[in-house]
């Protein structure tokens, strides 16, 4: 300024933070806000929202997507864990015609009870992708569909088909419960702050009715098969640990003289479906290939102290009956796994 001293600009205290409307975003919390209005419009358009729909939005942030959802749906229920974002949402829509049709729930979406909704549209924190997917699929009553932004590799695992490299336990479990389709790829520069990875939007439509299967049994089988998905089922079911586990279940059921029910009771289904997303400290989309030879893991025929040879032959007989002994989990469909499970159950062999 002429005739005076030059005023120095004060350095930002948080140079790495990104702002919108005075609110800073934290990458550590998965806060990546969609900044491209054309992309927001495309997501809403592909969602197929009806004017009578109650919409669930997870992680609304500052409300860029929320505003568009309110324009096309009957009501938006927004679940947000960050109290700062909750205040920003309330400030943004206060005094507008949309305010009465917006309900904000402050809390962790994985821990809170979700109300009724017709459709879910969300740009979620990527670290909750797996548990959130199965929580939604366990929700009752079932919703029509969910349109969700995932990290691209996770999305590709959801839609992977038998024989593809990314086909895994996650693929099998989600496709058993829902029809999943890829809608569009989203580059990292469409977000503020930009994440380190690209994203994808997928459509999830729950199957109605669900397959008549005991989901605990199903998950027990799938966990075993995909622990080493590129090995033959014959080599997997010759493993000492696998045979010992199955024999223990077999003897327990015989001693109780109680048949294992292979169909889930209606009131147990949501709990069992949600459990399919449990990771036990591992990413359910990843399988372990430990590099050991199959022979190192197999049960020796003369190891009578651990397992009777007739039970081993019983297990292998099931595989031979269904022509599964030389097949690999990475190539099997949901129908194949359902058939394999039914064969084991008919032989009195169970996985839970």
Q: Is 95 annotated as a binding residue?
A: no
Q: What Å distances lie between residue 157 and 135, 273, 285, 286, CA to CA?
A: 18, 18, 7, 10
Q: Is 34 annotated as a binding residue?
A: yes
d(CA 75, CA 45): 17
d(CA 202, CA 180): 7
CB atoms under 10 Å from CB of 343, counted, come to: 16
Q: Is 30 annotated as a binding residue?
A: no
Buried b (16+ CB within 10 A) or exposed e, 286-318: ebeeeeeeeeebbbeeeeeeebeeebbebbbeb
Q: Is 59 annotated as a binding residue?
A: yes
d(CA 171, CA 176): 8
Distance between the two ends of the chain, CA-based, in angstroms?
Answer: 78
- Tokens 């989901």 sit at which residue? 215
Tokens coding 71? 């324009």
- The secondary structure of residue 76, as a DSSP letter, is E
- The secondary structure of residue 115, as a DSSP letter, is -
- On the CB side of 196, CA atoms within 13 Å amount to 4
Query: Which residues fall in the annotated binding site for S-adenosyl-L-methionine?
Result: 32, 34, 59, 80, 108, 123
Query: Which residues fall in the annotated binding site?
Result: 32, 34, 59, 80, 108, 123
């Amino acid at each position: 300024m002429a005739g005076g001293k030059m005023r120095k600009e004060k350095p930002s205290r948080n140079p790495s933070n990104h702002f919108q409307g005075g609110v800073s975003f934290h990458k550590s919390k998965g806060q990546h806000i969609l900044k491209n209005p054309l992309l927001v419009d495309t997501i809403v358009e592909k969602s197929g929202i009806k004017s009578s729909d109650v919409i669930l939005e997870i992680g609304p942030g500052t409300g860029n997507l929320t505003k568009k959802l309110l324009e096309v749906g009957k009501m938006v229920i927004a679940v947000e864990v960050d109290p700062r974002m909750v205040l920003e949402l309330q400030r943004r829509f206060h005094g507008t015609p949309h305010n009465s049709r917006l309900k904000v729930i402050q809390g962790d979406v994985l821990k809170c009870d979700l109300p009724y909704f017709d459709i879910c549209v969300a740009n979620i924190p990527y670290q909750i992708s797996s548990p959130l997917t199965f929580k939604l699929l366990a929700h009752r009553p079932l919703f029509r569909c969910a349109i969700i932004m995932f990290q691209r590799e996770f999305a590709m695992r959801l839609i992977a088909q038998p024989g593809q490299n990314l086909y895994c336990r996650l693929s099998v479990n989600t496709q058993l419960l829902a029809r999943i389709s890829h809608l569009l790829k989203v580059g990292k520069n469409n977000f503020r702050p930009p994440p380190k990875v690209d994203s994808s939007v997928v459509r999830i439509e729950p199957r109605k009715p669900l397959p008549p299967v005991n989901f605990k049994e199903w998950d027990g089988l799938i966990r075993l098969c995909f622990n080493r998905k590129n090995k033959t089922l014959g080599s997997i079911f010759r493993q000492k640990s696998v045979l010992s586990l199955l024999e223990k279940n077999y003897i327990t059921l015989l001693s109780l003289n109680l048949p294992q029910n292979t169909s889930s009771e209606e009131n147990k289904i949501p709990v069992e479906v949600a459990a399919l997303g449990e990771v036990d400290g591992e990413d359910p989309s990843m399988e372990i290939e430990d590099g050991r030879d199959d022979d190192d893991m197999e049960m020796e025929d003369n190891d009578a102290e651990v397992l009777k040879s007739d039970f081993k032959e019983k297990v292998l007989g099931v595989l031979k009956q269904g022509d599964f002994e030389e097949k690999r989990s990475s190539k099997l469909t949901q129908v194949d796994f359902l058939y394999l499970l039914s064969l084991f159950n008919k032989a009195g062999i169970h996985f839970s």
